[in-house]
C-alpha cells in the first residue's frame, strides 16, 4: 500500500502522483455505497501492482473541500474575474468569495481584460476593484499591470492553488502566461451569450514555480446552497470586523436596529454592492428547501 495525492480525476479514473511517478487507479467498490468520492487534491492510500492498474483504498481526512470546482486540500484560490466579455458580476464574485471563506481558503482576486474597456470605463472599474483590497481586505492583481505575472508567481511556491472563475474570464490564458510550456487550450467568447466556451473540462493539478496549481472548468452561475442563512454573515470578513459594534450579539445585519454593518454601508466603509449581495443570498437561502451535503471522504 502506498500514499499519494490525486492530481487528476477523469471518467472514474484517478491519477495519483508519488515521487514523480503517476499511477492510474480506480476507486474501491464500496466507495459509492458509502457516498465517498475522491477529489483532486486528496491524499489517499492506494494499492497498484503497476502504474496502469490500481485501486484507491482510503481517502485521508481533508482540511477543506470545494464543491465547485470539486477539489480538496487547497491553500489559496486565484479568483479570475473579467472586466468585460463576460461582463463583471459583483454578485458572482461575492458568492465565490463566500464559498472560499467557508473553507478557509485565501482568495486572491485577479481581474482580466481591463485593457478592453475604454478609458472612462477602465478608470471607474479600477476604482471599484481596488475597494475589494482597501475595504474588504483581499489581495488584488490586475493582469494588465506590468508586474502582475511576477506577483502571481510569487504566491505559488509550496502551496496548492485553485484557479477558478466564470467561463471565458481567462483562467487558461492566465496560466499560459505564468508557464508557457503548459500550452493550455483557450476559448473564444460567444457574442450571443457573452459567455466563454468551456475549454477546461476537468480538474487537474500542474506544477508551476514549485507549487501545485489547478485549472478548473468555468461556470456562468454560482450558488452557495449548503450554507445556513444564519452562518452567511460569518463569511463576509468586512462584516465580521465591525460586527462587535452591533447592538445585538447575533445581529444578522438585515432588520436589526443599531447595526454596525448597515451603518458602514451608509458611511461608505462597506461596499453597497457587497451588502446588497449579502441580503440577496440570505433571502435565497431562507427561501430554499434544505440541501444535504455529500458525505466527506475520510
Annotated ligand binding at 169? The verdict is: yes
Q: Quick check: 179 and 190 in contact, CB under 8 A? A: no
Pairwise pLDDT comparison (222 vs 50), residue with the higher score: 50
124 is in an annotated binding site: no
15 assigned binding-site residue: no
Q: How many CB atoms lie within 10 A of CB 246?
A: 21
The answer, yes or no, to whether residue 188 has pLDDT greater than 80, is no
Give the integer Cα–Cα distance in Å for 148 and 131: 18
Is 246 marked within a binding site?
A: yes
- Establish whether 172 is an annotated binding residue: yes
- CATH code given to domain 2-61: 2.40.50.140
Residue 170 annotated as binding? yes
Q: What confidence tens digit (pLDDT) does each residue in 128-170 have?
A: 999 999 999 999 999 999 999 999 999 999 999 999 988 888 8
- Tell me, yes or no, if the pTM score tops 0.85: yes
Report helix angle 148-155 to 171-178, nearest 10. Answer: 90
Residue 61: pLDDT band by 50, 70, 90 thresholds?
very high
Tens of pLDDT, residues 3-27: 999 999 988 899 999 998 999 999 9
Q: Say if residue 123 carries a ligand binding annotation.
A: no
DSSP per position, 165-227 = EBTTS-HHHHHHHH-GGG------EETTTTEE-----S-EEEEETTEEEEE---BS----TTS
Tell me the residue length of the chain.
298
Topology (CATH level 3) of domain 66-215: Rossmann fold (3.40.50)
Query: Is 204 assigned to a binding site?
Result: no
218 annotated among ligand-binding-site residues: no
Which of 56-60, 72-76, 182-186, 228-232 shows the lowest mean pLDDT across its residues? 182-186
167 annotated ligand binder:
yes
168 is in an annotated binding site: yes
112 annotated ligand-binding residue: yes
Top pLDDT among 199 and 90 is at 90
What does the pLDDT read at residue 74? 97
Q: Where are the domains of the chain?
A: 2-61, 66-215, 232-287
* Peptide bond connecting 21 to the previous residue in cis, omega within 30 degrees of 0: no
Could you give the C-alpha distances from 41 to 114, 164, 257, in angstroms and in order?
A: 32, 15, 44
Tell me yes or no: is domain 232-287 CATH 3.40.605.10.
no
Q: Is 114 annotated as a binding residue?
A: yes
Cα–Cα distances in angstroms (integers) from residue 106 to residues 56, 192, 232, 235, 266, in the given order = 29, 34, 17, 12, 28
Asked whether the predicted pLDDT for residue 211 surpasses 50, the reply is yes
The pLDDT of residue 200 is above 60: no
Amino acid at each position: 500500500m502506498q500514499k499519494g495525492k490525486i492530481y487528476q480525476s477523469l471518467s472514474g479514473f484517478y491519477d495519483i502522483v508519488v515521487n514523480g511517478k503517476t499511477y492510474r487507479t480506480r476507486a474501491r467498490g464500496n466507495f459509492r455505497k458509502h457516498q465517498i468520492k475522491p477529489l483532486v487534491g486528496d491524499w489517499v492510500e492506494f494499492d497498484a501492482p503497476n502504474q496502469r492498474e490500481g485501486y484507491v483504498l482510503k481517502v485521508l481526512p481533508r482540511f477543506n473541500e470545494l464543491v465547485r470546482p470539486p477539489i480538496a486540500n487547497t491553500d489559496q484560490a486565484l479568483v479570475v474575474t473579467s472586466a468585460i466579455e463576460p461582463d463583471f458580476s459583483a454578485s458572482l464574485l461575492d458568492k465565490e468569495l463566500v464559498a472560499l471563506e467557508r473553507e478557509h481558503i485565501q482568495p486572491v482576486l485577479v481581474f482580466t481584460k481591463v485593457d478592453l474597456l475604454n478609458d472612462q470605463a477602465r478608470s471607474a472599474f479600477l476604482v471599484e476593484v481596488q475597494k475589494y483590497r482597501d475595504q474588504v481586505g483581499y489581495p488584488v492583481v490586475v493582469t494588465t499591470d506590468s508586474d502582475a505575472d511576477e506577483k502571481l508567481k510569487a504566491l505559488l511556491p509550496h502551496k496548492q492553488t485553485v484557479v477558478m472563475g466564470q467561463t471565458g474570464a481567462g483562467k487558461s490564458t492566465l496560466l499560459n502566461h505564468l508557464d508557457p510550456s503548459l500550452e493550455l487550450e483557450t476559448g473564444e467568447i460567444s457574442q450571443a451569450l457573452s459567455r466563454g466556451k468551456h475549454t477546461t473540462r476537468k480538474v487537474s493539478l500542474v506544477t508551476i514555480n514549485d507549487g501545485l496549481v489547478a485549472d478548473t472548468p468555468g461556470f456562468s452561475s454560482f450558488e452557495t446552497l449548503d450554507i445556513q442563512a444564519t452562518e452567511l454573515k460569518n463569511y463576509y470578513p468586512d462584516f465580521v470586523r465591525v460586527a462587535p459594534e452591533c447592538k445585538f450579539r447575533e445581529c444578522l445585519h438585515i432588520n436589526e436596529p443599531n447595526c454596525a454593518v448597515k451603518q458602514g454601508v451608509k458611511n461608505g466603509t462597506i461596499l453597497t454592492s457587497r451588502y446588497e449581495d449579502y441580503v440577496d443570498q440570505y433571502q435565497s437561502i431562507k427561501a430554499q428547501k434544505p440541501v444535504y451535503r455529500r458525505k466527506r471522504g475520510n
